[in-house]
Each structure stands twice: as C-alpha cells, then as structure tokens.
A = this chain, B = another copy of it.
Amino acid sequence: MIENNQARWLWYPGDFEIRQGLLQNFSREERGYDWPAYWNMDDCHRNVKFKRYYELSEETSFIVYVTGIGYAELNGKKYSLGKEITYQPGKNKIRVFIGNTEGLPAVFIEGEIIKSDLGWVASNFIDESPAGWSSLYLTKDHDPNRVYYECKVVSAVSQVERQGGVLIDYGRAIFGTLAINKLAVNEPVTICYGESESEALDIEMCYYKENQATSKTVPRKRAFRYLFIPNVTSEQVSIDAIHEYLPLQNKATFHSNDELLNKIWSISVETFTLCSGLFFIDGIKRDRWIWSGDAYQSYFINQYLFFDEEINTRTMLALRGQNEMKQHMNTIVDYSILWVIAIENHYMMSGDKTFLKQIYPKMQSMMSYLEAQTNQLGFIYGRKKDWLFIDWSEMDREGTLAAEQILLLKAYQTMQHCADILGEENGYTEKYEQLKENVMTYFWDNDKQAFIDSYESGNRNVTRHANIFAILFDLVDQEKKEQILENVLLNDEITEITTPYFKFFEQDALCKMGQTNQVYQIMCDYWGGMVEKNAVTFWEEYIPEEKGDAIYEMYGDPFGKSLCHAWGASPIYLLGRYFAGIKPTSPGYQTFAVEPKLDTFTTLDVQFPIKNGLVKIKKEETQLIVSATKAGGILKFDGKEYPLEVAKECVVMLEPETI
C-alpha cells in the first residue's frame, strides 16, 4: 500500500506508458534487423508543467529534480533545479516546467512537506489533469526512463556436442541476455538461439544470432531456451542465461487430482508470467508488440492470476496513445472497440474510479472516431487502410460485418455504464437501442437462428464469430443464446475456429453456456497436446496433425511460430472464471459470486485472487469447502446460495450425483 503522501516520480498522465509502449513496440528483432511496429506510434509529451498550491503556516524547503531540463517556480520566481528552495509561510503557488527531447519529462520533489506526492496537477499546456505515477518509481534514484528488471542467473541443464558445435539447453524459456563465463577460442564465434532445439541448430534460419561474439559480448535481450555455438567443443564454452523480469506476484494456486490439468495450469502460469512485463505483449520471441486483441485476453487471465491492476492500466494507456485519434489500434477497428470494452471489465475487477475518470475522455474520443465511420443504419464500416480483422478465418466480408456491429453495441453499453458511474451526460443508450434494432433486422436470420456475417452479399453465411460475441456480451436473450449454441457453437457444419485467438472467445462462450465439460476436453486435447510435445510454455498455435519441425513453422517462416504466447495461457482464465466460477457482481468485488462447476475433478484445491482478497475452493470426496478473505461473496452451488462470511469456511456436503 502506497501512502498518499509518499513522494514519487510524477509525469503527465499516460506519458510513461506511451513512452515505454513505444520502446516496447520497437524492441522486436528478427534475423539481424530491428522491426519497429508498422503503425503510427505516439510518444510522450516533450514539455509539461506541474502545479500545486500550498498554504502552510511554517517555513519549509524542498528540492526539485527532473528528467530533462527546466526550472522550478515559486510564486512566479524561477529557480534552478537540484537546489534547495525555501518556502515562506502563507499561500504559495509552485510550478515546475520540464522539457525533454529524448525521453519522458518527469519530476521528483524532495522535501518534508512539499514533495511530489499525490495532489499535483500536470499540464501539457492544453489540458490539466492529476499527475501520473507508478508504483515502480517511488524513489529519486529510480529514473522513469529506465526499466529496472530483476535478473536471475539460469545455468544450463545440459550442454552437449552436436553438429560440430555445442548445444546448450537451459531447460526453460529465458527472456534475457547471456553471461559468457568461458569462451576459450581464438576467433569470435556465432551464437545461435532457439526456442526449440531445432531452431538453435539451424544456423541459417534461427531467429536470432549473435555474430562475432567474444567472451566480452553482452548480447541484447532475447527469448530462447537453447543456444548452439558451431565449431567449438564443450570444454571451450560456459555460458549462463540471465533471465530478466519484472517481479509479479502469482496469487493463484491450482492442484487437482488431474495431473494433466495441473501441468497445463503450471505451464500456463509460466507462459503468462513471461509475457507480462510493463505491458501484456503477445509473445516474448515474436512480436514483442502490444496488440489490443491479445491484451484484451490477457486482462482476463491477469484477473485470475496476478490480479495486477497496474499492468492492465499501463497496457491500456500505452495502446491508446495521446489524445488525438489518428488511426485504429494496431490499425485494427475491432481492436479499438475491444479496448473500450475492456475498460468496463477493468472497472468491474478493480472498482478504480480514478483510472476510469482519467481514461474516460480518451474513451469518448475513441467513440467519436468510431462513430464517424458508421453509416445511416449506424453500422460501422472500414475506412481506407483500416483492418477489419475479427479473425484470420474465412468469412463473408462484403459490406458491413455482423461481428463488428456486435462489438460496437457492447462498446455503447460500456460507454453508458462508465458515463453513469462518472455521472457524465451521454447519449449512448439511444445509440445502443437504435443500432441493436438494426443489427437484429439486418443480421439476425430467423430461419438459421443465428447471426449472418454480412447481409449485403445476399449469401447469408453463418460463421461463429459474431454469434460468439453476442453470447459473451449478452446482446441477445437466453432463448436466442440457446439457439446460437445449438445452431452454431455445437454445429459441426459451421466452419471451425482455428486460431487460438478466437478459440479464447469460443471457449469463453461455451463455458458461459454451461459447456464446461466440453471445454475441459478441449483443454486436455489442445493444451494437453502441447504438454505431450514437452512444451515448457504454450504456443501461439497448436495443430495436432503437424509432425516434426513443421510444428515450428508459421507465416511461411520455418521458425516463425512463437512458442511462448500469452493467449496460450487462457486455461487460467477458464479455470478461474468458470470451473472455480468466481466473478465480481459489483465493482471491485464489493460483492462477488463463487459458482463452481467442478464435475470434471474428483479432488481439487485452488485459490484465486479477488480485489484485496482471495477465494479458496477445496473439493474433496464428500464435501466442497469455500472461503474468502473478504466479505461480499455468495457461493452458488447446486441451485442454492450460501453467503460467504469473512475467512470462514463454507462447507457443502456433496451428494454423489452432484459430483
């Protein structure tokens, strides 16, 4: 818990995240070149000012430090930085002006009373807002232009001679650099990296290589498990891996009678931990970019593992960039909309009205940007260079698309909800109602009892995507949801979802419709398949039919597939949200429900985080034991409701048939 009067680095709200997001999205590397993100990237402001009024009855002093250049001002008089300034009793106005042409302008004020704690206002010379800060930057020596990773030395678990060189296996995925302890050779060597053994051994095609390495080389941060050094012997080489990470607290535990599920859980945790740093990135080898669609799913996984609100907000702020909307997030229209929708979920998870208030103007400008590309029916369409992604799958893409409209509907609902919380006037309900009517008229097919992709083509083709979103976002009534379940989700004639990205939504919808048993089977098959192939982290995609090195191929690149990809960790969410059945029923888990669906487990002992608390669930042969460290919970089980008292176990005896 950070006290309000604790000094900290302050910046214009969003600037730290935007700046670091830029650096993140420029960190991708491939085969000897850098690959900065291919969309328009914002940077932090170059000049900002900070302001605060004090009214004190005693003299006091303070010192202003900044990243960049500038000056401090006390009642209109300017002072140099880094020197003690004396404050005379009375009402005083303090301002700090900062310019920084190469990084984040930030301020740290040291003083007994006057300091850079909560209460400062930041301005970009246009708008004023409460200053931004992060729990990662609470001391003067922690420059918010640097990221202070912790390091862990990982020694090789095996080092063998292969193909005339040395193959090193660290036994786990590393995201970091190397400490070359010994390299007893006369000539510089090439170090080949691999997420897989095959990749490391492929001197030509491996993703990363350190050329001309000597014992003094400290390579850049990379993702790998294996190294291969050609033309050396094992005695000549000793290299440790230095894994770099931001410490995250894993608040969940999962132990069940099912060893495969236990393994899926722990590999999911490993995968998600690796992909969670300052931001949620898609994968550690590739792309290392912040994608709004991937991040959307990570917010949900995070809720059931770290419950780290700051990664969510950092990611949301980085994705959104500065005030002016110039382009869709990652160029993708649906990613923009998902960004809006995610904020409502974040509010339900965190109850954080301060963040909601900060981000709301940027939600509004995003909505204006979206609404500017709707037609007379209220349907959103793509502009030139917009990418209507939805999914890689084939679908009828003529004219306006059902899936986009359903997302937009949910966005209107989100805006209405957020505006209500903040007491902001808005007209989103009407927009929602009008769009909903048109969506049902044009996209709902009464015969097929499902949403069609497009009405303009006349094909009346049905794919899963829009239908899944409609269930997830409760945009149709229970009867229609059941129709969708039967006619689409459980209908083998409807083209299968093949991408793990959309599988997340599909499994979410299936669970929501009570199909946990089926989802359990999918976990065993799909994730279990990767476990069987000795995965130490979950992959970007798994196709059971692929054999040999073909499993590493993607996008036409023999090692293009990311073997540690955030969305691979979705079992964490599915297990927490549906199997354990925990969800907030009011913002910040003031009230929450625990509705376990544990038929697939004989015994189970799990714990999941909630806001400022934990829920524990234990299933034994004959009883279910549920407890929460915080008030407001209700256990729903077998048609009955049991209020959960703080830190008191609620025990329900299990009848054989409910197991």
Residues on A facing B (Cβ under 8 Å): 22-23, 26, 30-43, 45-47, 49, 69-71, 78-81, 97-99, 101-103, 124-126, 323-324, 326-327, 331, 385
Total copies of the chain: 2
Give the shortest distance, in Å, between A277 (CB) and chain B (any CB): 17
Question: Do B40 and A101 touch across chains, with their CB atoms under 8 A apart?
Answer: no
6 contacts between A and B (CB under 8 A): A26-B47, A26-B69, A33-B81, A36-B97, A37-B99, A323-B326
Given contacts A47-B41, A78-B33, contact A99 B26 (CB under 8 A): yes
Distance A33 CA – B68 CA, assembled complex (angstroms): 12
**Chain B positions within 8 Å of A70 at CB level:** 33-36
Question: Do B33 and A79 touch across chains, with their CB atoms under 8 A apart?
Answer: yes
Give the shortest distance, in Å, between A125 (CB) and chain B (any CB): 4
**Chain B positions within 8 Å of A99 at CB level:** 26, 34, 36-37, 41
Given contacts A69-B34, A70-B34, A78-B33, contact A26 B101 (CB under 8 A): yes
Question: Do B324 and A35 touch across chains, with their CB atoms under 8 A apart?
Answer: no
Distance A40 CA – B485 CA, assembled complex (angstroms): 53
**Chain B positions within 8 Å of A125 at CB level:** 38-40, 327, 331
Given contacts A41-B47, A385-B126, contact A98 B36 (CB under 8 A): yes
**Chain B positions within 8 Å of A81 at CB level:** 33
Question: Do B34 and A101 touch across chains, with their CB atoms under 8 A apart?
Answer: no
Question: Do B126 and A35 touch across chains, with their CB atoms under 8 A apart?
Answer: no
Given contacts A26-B69, A36-B69, A102-B103, contact A126 B41 (CB under 8 A): no
Give the shortest distance, in Å, between A466 (CB) and chain B (any CB): 29
Question: Do A33 and B102 touch across chains, with their CB atoms under 8 A apart?
Answer: no
Given contacts A46-B43, A124-B40, A126-B327, contact A35 B71 (CB under 8 A): yes
Given contacts A125-B327, A327-B125, contact A97 B22 (CB under 8 A): no
**Chain B positions within 8 Å of A43 at CB level:** 43, 46, 101
Smallest CB gap from A45: residue in B: B40
Question: Do A80 and B32 touch across chains, with their CB atoms under 8 A apart?
Answer: yes
A126: which of B22, B40, B124 is its contact (CB, 8 Å)? B40
**Chain B positions within 8 Å of A101 at CB level:** 22-23, 26, 43
Smallest CB gap from A19: residue in B: B101
**Chain B positions within 8 Å of A323 at CB level:** 326
